[in-house]
Amino acid sequence: MNFCPRPAGERSSIPAVRPVAAEPSRSAVASQAQDLERRRARERPMKSYAVRLVAIAALASGLMLADCRPSPAHAKASAPAGATQPRAPLVLVQVAPAGPAPAREQPVGLPPVKDYEPIPELRDIYFDMGTAAIRAGDVKTLKANAAWLRAHPGHLVLIEGHSDNRGSTSRKNELNIDLGERRAQAAMDFLIAEGINASRITVLSYGEERPQCTDESERCWSQNRRSRFLVKPR
C-alpha cells in the first residue's frame, strides 16, 4: 500500500482511536460497596463520640468561667486605684425657705431684766470687803429708795449685786457671784421691811463681771462692792 505524506497543517479524516476501560465485574462492585458501608459504620460512633467530647468541653469551659468571675465585693476591692467607680444617683431634696429665727427665750434662772433703767432718785449702797452686811451709813440711802418706791407703786425695781475682783481660790468668780447675790438680797430684805411688796423686786448678781471702776486700788475696789437699783414701769 502506498501512503502519501499529508501536507503540514491538514487534519486526518480518520478519527483517532481511544482505549476503552474495561467495566468492573459485579462482584468487584459489590465488594467495594461493602467496604464503604463498613467504613461508614466505623466512622459513625467516632463522630458521635467526638460531638459528645466537644459538648462536654464547652460545658466545662462555661463552668470554669463562671467560677472565675469575681464577686462584687472582690471586684470592688481589686479595682485599680485610678479606676473610676460608678457614682450613686443624685437625690435632689427640696429645702423649704428659712423663716424668721425663733425668738430666744430668757435663760432659765435669770430674771427678765429688759427695760430696767437707773434713775437719780435711787442711789447705790456699798459694802465692806467679803461681807453683805448693810453699813450704818447706807441705811439712810435705803430708806430714801424705799420711800420713792412707795410713792411710785406702778414701778418694779431690779437690785444688782456686785463685788470686786479679788480672791485667792480657784473658785473666786463663783464665790464673788454668791457674794453679789447676798448683797442684793440684803438690800431687798431692807426694802421689804420698809413696806415694799416682794413681787415688785427682782435680784440679780454679776459678781466681779461688771466693775464700775477698773483700777487696781482700794478706792476702786470699794466702788465695785455695791448694790445697784434700777426701775421700770409695770
pLDDT the model gives residue 91? 44
The strand pair at 155-162 and 201-207 is best described as: parallel
Highest mean pLDDT: which range of 32-41, 65-74, 127-136: 127-136
Dist CA 173 CA 205 (whole Å): 11
CATH superfamily, with its number, for domain 125-233: OmpA-like domain (3.30.1330.60)
pLDDT the model gives residue 106? 40
Dist CA 110 CA 113 (whole Å): 8
User: In a 3-state reduction of DSSP, which class is residue 2?
Assistant: coil
Nearest to 159, CA basis, from 190, 135, 193: 190
Where exactly are the structural domains of the chain? 30-71, 125-233
Higher pLDDT, 111 or 225: 225
Residues 6+ away with beta carbon under 8 Å from 205: 160, 161, 162, 177, 178, 179, 180, 181, 183, 184
Whether pLDDT at 207 is above 50 = yes
pLDDT in tens, 157-202: 999 999 999 887 788 889 999 999 999 999 999 999 999 999 999 9
Residues 6+ away with beta carbon under 8 Å from 214: 220
Average pLDDT over residues 3-26: 51
Higher pLDDT, 24 or 90: 24
